[in-house]
Chain A
Amino acid sequence: MNMKDFIKDLDFSRKSSTVVFLIAILVLIGAFIWWLNIPFIEDIFTNGTIMLIMVLGFQLFMGNSGILNWSYVGYVGIGAFASAIFSMTPALKALQIPTMYPFLISLHLPFPLALIAGALVAMIVAALVAWPLMRLSDSVGAITQFALLIVINVLLSQWSQVTNGPRTFTLGGTRLTSFWLVLGVAVLVIILVYCYKESSLGLKLRATRDDRYAARSSGINFVAVRYVAYVASAGIGGLAGGLYSHYILSITAASFYLNELFLLLSMLVIGGSMSVSGAFFGTLLVTLLRQGLRQVELFLYKTGFEASGSAEIVVAIILIAFLIWRPNGITGGRELTWQSIKRMLPIASEKKDPISNNLKKEEKA
């Protein structure tokens, strides 16, 4: 492909503008919060951006394949524990988790490598178990993924020699995940997930989501395209898990279970699971909503009302409402592009809108 074709293929107004807009919004919010310099808000932003990375990885498989991937949060957990095991010094591990296997205690990698290694462990686990599951679709696929989540969760919560079992796994040391690191990784993951979606592999997977029989007749091996996306998705989840554990500094298997999954799911569905923009705006919206509700809860608590957990209820109700009235989320499954912005602006006259234009033609005819 020559340069001219390549540039034409990027098609800024319809395709690559999405990445530019999403990154610009994220970086602008980040820069503004950095300038504000309020630790409480920085903390919300860093946490929210880690969630964003998780939701993007979730979208990569679930959004493009249409299979509800319950096990995803398990891979986040695997990445969180694995990267922590790699990054902690042997002395620290021997102190914090005396039950750990000696060969795991002796492992040690610098933090950036430990993050990558954590993601790789999640990918390897996914690669080993996923192949026979990729044949299954719809509710059967979702149920097997749920069963897999149970297996991963039991392993994480009971394997004392690796994860400290049901006790809290404390990383100790300093907080290695920084504000800018999270922002940088999020930018890279936005690019990666979007490029995947637009690539031929992503296109094939989206075709299998619409109709896997028609996809097969178009020469698509749906098991293979699903498998690649599933493993990649687990890798991004594992990476996000590593960032999370080195930010929170104490984790348990329960941190990577149904509560967390429900939060990821509500973010993705409210935003619109079929688009990367949906993952982005869903995360943004639900994060703002939860933080707002938390403030209300605190206020109520001070005035004598016990209302803890109400944020979760409100998010759940909103999720239900979306599934009833707008199942494709706020983005409607579309991407934020220069074209879509132009269409939203009042200047964009009816002339430019091909759908209503054609409708009018048909009315005349």
Chain B
Amino acid sequence: MSNITENAPILQVTDLYVAYGPILALHGISLEVHKGELVSICGVNGAGKSTVLKAIAGVLKPRSGSIRFKGKDVTGWKPEQLHKHGMALVPEGREIFPSLTVEENLRLGAFGRYQARRFAEDLEDFFTLFPILKERYHQAGGLLSGGEQQMLAIARGLISHPDLLMMDEPSLGLSPNRVDQIFELIMELKSRGITILLVEQNAQRALEIADRAYLFSNGRVEYAGRPQDMAGKVDITSVYLGGQKGGDVE
């Protein structure tokens, strides 16, 4: 299942420290993502999962440490530069643009990355992945339901053809069957060869689909490796209180 390539990782984070004012949120995080991999970051609230994504995407400035993306040192780059360089972040809380139409939301994702002509071609493909977006193409994003907004947020990230797609809590606040849809979608994206870094509270589901996983606790990496090896090595419930011990949902 896991096929870690010998090549250099597409994303390499080394010894990253990030602070909110005086409070240190990340204490020397190191992680890497290889091309075509689906890597999950799990952990309890406040473990630093979202912080690390924000730091990688350039929204937060790291205090120290380095971030290499596609072989380049991108530490300290601005979010807009990183977007142009092929990094897409689907932020937490379905941050779509509510007053803009679905079409405009999608067009925004494509800016700076490629021309309008390819956008039209891609749309057809997108509508097979996200049929709901075709139905609501001319509606304001704010009128969509929570699950639909999440679909739109992911579609907006995808339409830039990113080399790395980062998703921050895509299942947060959604109804159970919407959560199923989101995870099916993530599986579909993975099968298409898209490199994904996924932050999820729903550890059970996230570990099921991941090639590799990082377990965060208090801003440190508690465990890194294949999810199937994880059970024996760490007591998940001690690190991650939200996980159901041995409870397989399906």
Contacts and interface: CB of A to CB of B under 8 A. Distances in A.
A339 B139 CA distance: 12
Interface stretch (A51-59, A203-211, A302-310): A203-211
Interface string A169-202: 0000000000000000000000000000000100
A293 B78 CA distance: 53
A217 B91 contact: yes
Interface residues of A, number: 26
Given A213-B59, A218-B111, A358-B136, 15 more contacts: A5-B120, A200-B111, A203-B104, A206-B97, A207-B108, A210-B100, A216-B59, A217-B79, A217-B88, A219-B80, A220-B80, A220-B108, A220-B111, A274-B99, A354-B136
Interface in A203-259: 203-204, 206-207, 209-211, 213-221
B170 interface: no
Contact of B135 (A1, A339, A358): A358
Given A1-B116, A207-B100, A213-B59, A218 B109 contact: yes
16 contacts: A14-B138, A200-B111, A206-B100, A207-B100, A209-B99, A211-B95, A211-B97, A215-B108, A216-B79, A217-B57, A217-B88, A218-B83, A218-B156, A220-B80, A221-B80, A354-B135
Contacts of A209: 99
Contacts of B193: none
Q: In the complex, which range does the number of interface residues on chain B fall in? A: 20 to 34
Given A217-B83, A219-B83, A210 B99 contact: yes
Contacts of A333: 99
A335 to B, nearest CB: 11
Nearest to A203: B104
B57 to A, nearest CB: 6
A209 B100 CA distance: 10
Contacts of A128: none
A358 B143 CA distance: 11
A347 interface: no
A211 B89 CA distance: 14
Contacts of A211: 95, 97
A200 B107 CA distance: 9
Centre residue among A206, A217, A355 by max chain B CB count within 10 A: A217
Chain A at the B interface: SS class: helix
Interface string B112-126: 110011001000000
B89 A203 contact: no
B99 A1 contact: no
A213 B168 CA distance: 14
B150 to A, nearest CB: 13
Nearest to A224: B80
Interface in B75-107: 78-80, 83-84, 88-89, 91, 95-100, 104, 107
Contact of B100 (A200, A203, A339): A203
Nearest to B143: A355
Contacts of A200: 107, 111
A216 B116 CA distance: 20
A355 B104 contact: no
Interface in B140-168: 143, 156, 160
Contacts of B83: 217-219
Q: Please list the 5 inter-chain residue pairs (A to B) with the smallest Cβ-Cβ separation, ordered nearest first.
A: A219-B83, A214-B95, A210-B97, A216-B79, A219-B112
A354 B102 CA distance: 14
A203 B108 contact: yes
